[in-house]
Structure 1
Amino acid sequence: MHLSPLHCIIILLLISWPFSSVLICTSVSVLVPGMRLTPSKTLTSDQGSFALGFFCPSNSTQNMYVGIWFDDIPVHTVVWVANHDNPITDASSAMLGMANNSKLVLSESNGHHILWMANTVTGSNSSVKLLNNGNLVVLSSDGATLWQSFDNPSDTVLAGMPMRTTHDTHPPWRIVSWKGPEDPSKGRFSGGNDLNTPLQFFVWDGSVPYWRGAVWTGYISSNMGLQTVSSLMYLTVYKGTAGESYATFGLSDGSSRILYKIDYSGKTVLLRWNTSLTDWTPLTPWPVYRCNFYGYCGPYGYCDNTEAIPACKCLDGFDPSNKTEWVTGIFSQGCRWKEALECGGGDGFLTLPAMKVPDKFLRLWNKSFDDCTVECSRNCSCLAYAYANLSTNNIDGDTTRCLMWTGVLIDVEKVGGIGNENLYLRLAGLSSKGRKSIILKVIPAISASLLLVLLLACLVWFRKFKGKHGKKGSPNRLIVGDLSITDGLGEETCEVPFVSFEEIVSATNNFSVSNLLGQGGFGKVYKGLLHGDKEVAVKRLSRGSGQGAIEFRNEVVVIAKLQHRNLVRLVFYSVQGDEKLLIYEYLPNKSLDAFLFDSEKKLMLNWTTRFNIIKGVARGLV
């Protein structure tokens, strides 16, 4: 029997007759044994937010389904379907109700043809209720939940729905797309957490990865374009009674309705109900561009989402494996090393900020950031690492998140917003020994004229220094703020503003890993926002670096005295106990080497530009 949308309407009218002259559909708030829900009735939540009933897709020619939808908004939005792959074909005999064994059953042909059944234990005096959050529950006589639709989702996640992130005793939790925009049959795409770790969300096309979300960095709240500035979307992570981990999202009071779904095309989208437009507004659809698809840019390639039109690029230290294919838009072969790793020779780590880190990682447990760095450094197979504090141990009892990659780096993106973090990439020539190797390779290419300029600059500086300060060796004291040191440079006072340690902690978000710009032999450098609007780079000297008070004062003295447009400027310093911090101006374009040794950026430096840089270096030395 084929049912058009018009047939559905006619059948609903006929079934509800003779009451149709007063009310086409009646509603109830609870189903108990002996009660039946037919196409003329709905089950509604107490506050009228949701309804459960029979519906026909708008362009369906034959099928009717039982589902849950929002009942207090004008756009018919189905959020759960019972009989995805067993549609009702005989609406006149369809009914949903409690069987004699207190199981919830959807059937037609007067109960002889079962289309769907809630998988519950056999009981007595059970009842069915639709809660105000859209969850359909089967309750025992004492009020215990025997079954709930939230544990058996369709294509939509609602606020408060528990998303199982581990799969120890239950089958994997999945949301499954519809087959088409008006076809509720199960489609190709499914979404859920990685089977091996609760830290990342996947969308699969069948069994093949289609898209992967960012690895969880510990964020618990976000203002994601909600209706008001005060609206907040927050994440709760907890363990259930069976020991498995769950995550739910919630909304602050006053927030508009939010739902998360996977559509028939495989795209996941966060939707907000827009009251003024009386429609759903998409907030964060993924994937948006082709290079957002899983592994689209190939091994060691990444999708740069910061570009106006996101495109595939090679990670720093890599070139396209097949340049001919790369320029034609074929990226499957990815990228290859420019220079082979040396392991214990000149290898070091380059900080890549604001990244969605790769898939296929190894997690090390209960490690600090320094421990994580050491573990990767001493493992010759470790190609990269990343670190985060998860802010909760409810998933697995460990708030640290040290990730290492020992295989191919795949599915990497440069991103913004939630989920971005630093990826520390192992490259040849970045350690102190490696830098010496680079210098040895670069020196033959430096022109004799540059060397001459540098020598002349040193000579000018020496003569000026000797003429100004007279005989060498006369000890004088230089005072910088409340720091003093005897350096033989003359009696001078150079003021450098002092800033409290508490202000630096606030500016760097308590030295958050997400603010880490890099690290060297004497400590780490963090980006900070001081006094609300001043971007700074905070060098936090390591307590185990060997740099004591003398070295610290030396650096303050030297940098404070050198004020030049070609030299980074020291703007503040801070001392508290063992904490020694130098606060420099923030350079958003990084240092010169970021351009000289980048295969794309170096093309911006023509000879005229390079010669001007050479002259600037000489002026800085003078």
Structure 2
Amino acid sequence: MITWVIKHSGSLSLFSKFAVLILVSISWFCLEFFSVTLANITNTRFLRDPETLVSSNGIFKVGFFSPNKSTNRYVGIWYNVSMDSDALEVVWVANRNSPLNDTSGWLMISDDGNLQLLNQENKSFWSTNVSLPTNNNSVVALLQDTGNLVLLSNNVIIWGSFEHLTDSFLPWPALTIHKDVRENPLLQSWKNASDPSSGQFKLGRLPRNLPDFFTVKDDKPYWRTGPWNGYQFLGIPSYFSVVSTGFSIIDKHDGTLQLGYSVENPSILERFVLSYDGHLVQKRWLLRSRKSEVVWRSMESECEVYEKCGQFGSCDPNNSPICSCLKGFEPRNKDQWSKGIWSSGCVRKISLKCGNTGEREDGFLVLKHVKVPDFPYWLPSQGQDDCEKMCLENCVCLAHAFYAGIGCMMWNVSLIDIQQFSANGADLFIRLAHSELEIQTKGKSDAQGSEEGSHHQGENGRRKLIITVIVISCITVLVVFLYYLWRWLNRRYAKIARKRDIKWPIANYRAGANVRQAEIEDLPLFTFEELVAATNNFSGTNKLGQGGFGPVYKGKLQDGQEVAVKRLSKASGQGQQEFMNEVVVISKLQHINLVRLLGCCVEEDEKLLVYEYMPNKSLDAFLFDHNSEIHLDWKKRFHIIKGISRGLLYLHRDSRLKIIHRDLKASNILLDDDLNPKISDFGMARIFGRKQNQANTLRVVGTYGYMSPEYAMEGLFSEKSDVFSFGVLLLEIVSSKKNSKFLEDESLSLLTYVWKLWNANDVLPLIDPKIFDPRFEVEILRCIKLGLLCVQEFPEDRPSISALVSMLDSNEVTELPSPKQPCFTLRKLCSVDEGSQSGQQQVSLNYASLTVISGR
């Protein structure tokens, strides 16, 4: 066009020619970049980068895009709801493993009728690759309202993107699911948040008798739904108890399933996506509010990891430890089991007697509300009684279960991947020897009378049992009545005392000054006199340390128990909010790697917290005090690292409350007699809702050097904020150097130093010489790499704590993703003085450790 204008403008002056040329160039530019929406792709109409193709309902769009922080170009489908390229909700990618490196790509109908992606050199990067008739003039590609990109020949669909899914599954009437996910996955994750190429996680089926789905990692089972009973998967009852599935599954009995997925409300855009860290996530986009939300996600608990507790083990996220052997079984390797390594599983205590004449018959013990084991043998036509009889007559049968909609299930080889639920699930009947059943029932058969015993003795036993139950019930009712009577009198007379301006000692002891009684009534309470006596009147010789909250003293209660007493200082920058936060949060948490709160005291203006005493004080005393007589070798340090990660996993995923700690650092890791780590100081912690991923605060608290960038600069915090702090702590444990006070080789911080060594492929100078051992070199290098992954600048790049726990158990370094440059490597860390001079209260005044004074 520009050449034509120059050719036909001979009569114009040079200036006029130049003006016309400019106008035509601008018009051509606008035509190319602002009129870029096509209706379809034909033999004569191509889709060039950055043009797009939009569905007729305007919900879906297909075109060229670059993932966040990537310059590669891909053809994909996304929701047409955001103008921000970094926030695209991409649901399908064509050339996921063959990206273009520039914007010269174009999508066209090739000569053989296939939809093909080419660059300016006509190099093919992707094609539908289907056989078509000779006459291809009628072939058209368009984007349907469902988000399915289809290729039509004479209005007949000959290819569709829904038949070649990537990482997302949108509502669709019917999809064919093959029997082996390793060869025919339904979904395959992205490699990472910025790379849509095929990742290590796949979702689909494995060869089983019953319809169920698996996530596999490197072709090994990683997560399992449990069998389908016609309306739900037995292995994930918590999800289906709150969400309508919209699923329909038909077993075609030819090695394939037909899967359907529907959503009733068309104004809600839903999809399932297999994330790059192995979570199956249900996402929902609300058109009216234009917001995306996570409805459900797998792997919320460590118990959901496939075969977490080994053979004949059961996993319960509400217990500590989470793994236990099934009744009638014991750990195969007790030493490993006591260390929290459960993969070896369990073995039977007493052998089965099946087929041995003269022996009493085996029986079954029921486990209620469980995720049934993998590898079931299916007998659909059998009832409950027939199922038990058939299992009992078969000497290789280990357990059976019956569930409506499925029928009879039996297990003949092993029992693996069992999880205990609080409700729903199925009842599993485990086969045990008769003598083992007598042990498990603790003499129940004797109370009911043996078959050889007299009827009279049986009746006497039942009478004694009834009388015992009645007496215990009466005593229980009396105790409960007296307790509530005491509470009623306490509240009644405390109110009268306030009106008459007199002291009521019980109310004063219970509530204290400005503290809500309801929030501490379930916590053991100490009187102020008890704690004065226990600490020898808060003697200076008993003082363990000083923090922002106030001084901490060692004490001994009347029963001889040693405790640590933290007393709120009147000069403290903290007050009732932090005190109540710590009481409410930590009193509801129970885990081996969390410090235990024994009670509190609230009287007048005094507020005190009573903890279990940690004789080895805190981790920073061993890491940064070079005069310490006790030396931590690598095995002990790695044990501490894994303990901290398990404590964080419990806070983020496994506890009843979802807790973000916000102040994780070496001084807040206490060590018991055996150097087991315990996370402490929950004064700054925040409780999250189960579906909440991020929160914002105007009051930034924490410790410089440990705070994530999004929290320090914008007040945004999430699970990934704690992951950042854990990464800094991990690098400090390896190097025995403190991040906020590190200066070496002209580096400004420990993170800068580690990153320089990593880029130079020489991280050995980072490792504390006192702990280096060639036997553990791979393990130490893996921890350094994990530390760098945790301190990456963007939260989405950091691994989740559940992924970190799995990575720590791995034996390879190369399988981990490559870390990106950490934040704060180009700027100097602020000190406490700098923070105070700026006039912003961004430094926590909460000193939670039981060590010597250490400024932040």
Q: How far off is 1:19 after superposition?
A: 4.2
Question: Matches of 1:460 and 1:197 in 2, distance apart?
Answer: 46
Report the counterpart of residue 604 of structure 2 in structure 1.
none
What one-letter code is carried by the residue in structure 2 that aligns with 1:64? R
Report the counterpart of residue 424 of structure 1 in structure 2.
429
Q: How far off is 1:24 after superposition?
A: 2.9
* Counterparts in 2 of 1:237 and 1:310: CA distance versus 1, 3 Å: farther
Report the counterpart of residue 96 of structure 1 in structure 2.
107
Q: Which runs of 5+ in 2 are unaligned?
A: 1-24, 448-455, 474-856
Report the counterpart of residue 405 of structure 1 in structure 2.
411
Equivalent residue in structure 2 for 1:41, among 42, 51, 66: 51
- Per-residue deviation, residues 312-363 of structure 1 (Å, max 9, x unmatched): 1211222222222212110011112222222263311222122111112222
Equivalent residues of 1:383, 1:405 under 8 A apart: yes
Question: Matches of 2:461 and 2:40 in 1, distance apart?
Answer: 93
What one-letter code is carried by the residue in structure 2 that aligns with 1:428? A
What one-letter code is carried by the residue in structure 2 that aligns with 1:269? V
Report the counterpart of residue 93 of structure 2 in structure 1.
81
Aligned runs of 1:582-601 on 2, under 5 Å?
A: none
Equivalent residues of 1:429, 1:437 under 8 A apart: no
What one-letter code is carried by the residue in structure 2 that aligns with 1:364? L
Question: Matches of 2:183 and 2:176 in 1, distance apart?
Answer: 10
What one-letter code is carried by the residue in structure 2 that aligns with 1:407? V
Q: How far off is 1:195 after superposition?
A: 3.1
* Counterparts in 2 of 1:200 and 1:438: CA distance versus 1, 3 Å: closer
- Per-residue deviation, residues 198-253 of structure 1 (Å, max 9, x unmatched): 51111111211111122212215999889xx9x83321224789994311221223
- Per-residue deviation, residues 385-416 of structure 1 (Å, max 9, x unmatched): 122333xxxxxxxxx43221111111111135
State yes or no: 1:108 paired with 2:123: no
Aligned runs of 1:330-345 on 2, under 5 Å?
A: 330-343=341-354, 345=360
- Per-residue deviation, residues 536-595 of structure 1 (Å, max 9, x unmatched): xxxxxxxxxxxxxxxxxxxxxxx9xx995779xxxxxxxxxxxxxxxxxxxxxxxxxxxx
Equivalent residues of 1:162, 1:246 under 8 A apart: yes
What one-letter code is carried by the residue in structure 2 that aligns with 1:216? W
Aligned runs of 1:449-598 on 2, under 5 Å?
A: none
* Counterparts in 2 of 1:242 and 1:145: CA distance versus 1, 3 Å: farther
* Counterparts in 2 of 1:17 and 1:376: CA distance versus 1, 3 Å: farther
* Counterparts in 2 of 1:274 and 1:563: CA distance versus 1, 3 Å: same
What secondary structure, in the 3-state scheme, does the structure 2 residue paired with 1:233 have?
A: coil
Report the counterpart of residue 522 of structure 1 in structure 2.
none
* Counterparts in 2 of 1:355 and 1:96: CA distance versus 1, 3 Å: same
Equivalent residue in structure 2 for 1:140, among 147, 153, 165: 153
Equivalent residue in structure 1 for 2:69, among 39, 50, 59: 59
* Counterparts in 2 of 1:384 and 1:437: CA distance versus 1, 3 Å: closer
Question: Matches of 1:235 and 1:113 in 2, distance apart?
Answer: 41
Question: Matches of 1:349 and 1:17 in 2, distance apart?
Answer: 82
* Counterparts in 2 of 1:277 and 1:324: CA distance versus 1, 3 Å: farther
Report the counterpart of residue 261 of structure 2 in structure 1.
249
Question: Matches of 1:16 and 1:32 in 2, distance apart?
Answer: 28
State yes or no: 1:317 paired with 2:328: yes
* Counterparts in 2 of 1:439 and 1:100: CA distance versus 1, 3 Å: closer
Equivalent residues of 1:291, 1:310 under 8 A apart: no
Q: How many residues align?
A: 426
Equivalent residues of 2:230, 2:249 under 8 A apart: no
* Counterparts in 2 of 1:317 and 1:36: CA distance versus 1, 3 Å: same
- Per-residue deviation, residues 161-216 of structure 1 (Å, max 9, x unmatched): 64433449x96242111111111111111110123445111111121111112221
Report the counterpart of residue 281 of structure 2 in structure 1.
269
Question: Matches of 1:309 and 1:133 in 2, distance apart?
Answer: 46
What secondary structure, in the 3-state scheme, does the structure 1 residue paired with 2:296 have?
A: coil
Aligned runs of 1:70-469 on 2, under 5 Å?
A: 70-73=79-82, 75-92=87-104, 94-110=105-121, 112-123=122-133, 124=136, 125-141=138-154, 143-160=155-172, 162-167=174-179, 172-197=184-209, 199-219=211-231, 232-238=244-250, 244-253=256-265, 256-273=268-285, 278-305=290-317, 307=318, 311-343=322-354, 345-390=360-405, 400-415=406-421, 420-429=425-434, 435=438
Point out the structure with the larger helix share.
Answer: 2
Q: How far off is 1:367 after superposition?
A: 2.4
What one-letter code is carried by the residue in structure 2 that aligns with 1:386? A
Equivalent residues of 1:237, 1:246 under 8 A apart: yes
Question: Matches of 2:324 and 2:148 in 1, distance apart?
Answer: 44
Q: How far off is 1:272 after superposition?
A: 2.3
Question: Matches of 2:267 and 2:287 in 1, distance apart?
Answer: 11
What one-letter code is carried by the residue in structure 2 that aligns with 1:282? V
What secondary structure, in the 3-state scheme, does the structure 1 residue paired with 2:385 have?
A: helix
Point out the structure with the larger strand share.
Answer: 1
* TM-score, normalised relative to structure 1: 0.61
What secondary structure, in the 3-state scheme, does the structure 1 residue paired with 2:229 have?
A: coil
* Counterparts in 2 of 1:241 and 1:99: CA distance versus 1, 3 Å: farther
Q: How far off is 1:458 after superposition?
A: 5.0
Question: Matches of 2:335 and 2:185 in 1, distance apart?
Answer: 43
Question: Matches of 2:383 and 2:462 in 1, distance apart?
Answer: 49
Output the aligned Cα RMSD.
Answer: 4.0
What one-letter code is carried by the residue in structure 2 that aligns with 1:42? T
* Counterparts in 2 of 1:371 and 1:271: CA distance versus 1, 3 Å: same
* Counterparts in 2 of 1:385 and 1:299: CA distance versus 1, 3 Å: same
Report the counterpart of residue 524 of structure 2 in structure 1.
none
What one-letter code is carried by the residue in structure 2 that aligns with 1:38? R
* Counterparts in 2 of 1:276 and 1:204: CA distance versus 1, 3 Å: same
Q: Which runs of 5+ in 1 are unaligned?
A: 1-14, 391-399, 445-453, 463-558, 568-622
Question: Matches of 2:348 and 2:342 in 1, distance apart?
Answer: 15
Question: Matches of 1:456 and 1:217 in 2, distance apart?
Answer: 43
Equivalent residues of 2:178, 2:255 under 8 A apart: no
Question: Matches of 2:199 and 2:461 in 1, distance apart?
Answer: 76
Out of 143-152 and 211-220, give the one that drifted further. Answer: 211-220
